[in-house]
Amino acid sequence: MEQRIISEDKLNLHHLDLRSAQKGQINESFLAMFGETLKTILKRMFGKIPTSDEYESMVAEAEENGKGSQYEEADVKVTGTKGQLKALALALAAEKKYMEAYVHWGLKDERTKESRYELYDAIETFEKITGLLWPFK
Q: What residue ranges do the domains of the chain occupy?
A: 8-130
Q: Is the pLDDT of residue 2 over 80?
A: no
Backbone phi and psi for residue 77, each to the nearest 5 degrees, phi listed first: -130, 125
pLDDT tens-place string over residues 9-48 = 444 577 889 998 888 888 888 888 888 888 878 877 776 5
pLDDT over 70 at 1, yes or no: no
What are the angstrom distances between the C-alpha of 111 and each of 45, 83, 116?
Answer: 20, 28, 9
Range among 10-19, 94-103, 108-117 with highest mean pLDDT value: 108-117
Q: Are 59 and 69 in contact (CB under 8 A)?
A: yes
Residues in contact with 78: Cβ distance below 8 Å, sequence separation at least 6, in sequence order: 15, 16, 17, 18, 37, 41, 70, 71, 72, 85, 88
Q: Which of 92, 95, 100 is nearest to 52 (CA)?
A: 92
For the segment 48-66, the average pLDDT, to the nearest whole number, is 61
Q: What is the pTM of this model?
A: 0.68
pLDDT band at 3 (very low <50, low <70, confident <90, very high): very low
Question: Left (φ > 0), alpha (ψ -120 to 50) or beta: where does 77 sit?
Answer: beta
Checking if the pLDDT of 131 tops 50, the result is yes
What local confidence, expressed as pLDDT, does residue 56 receive?
62
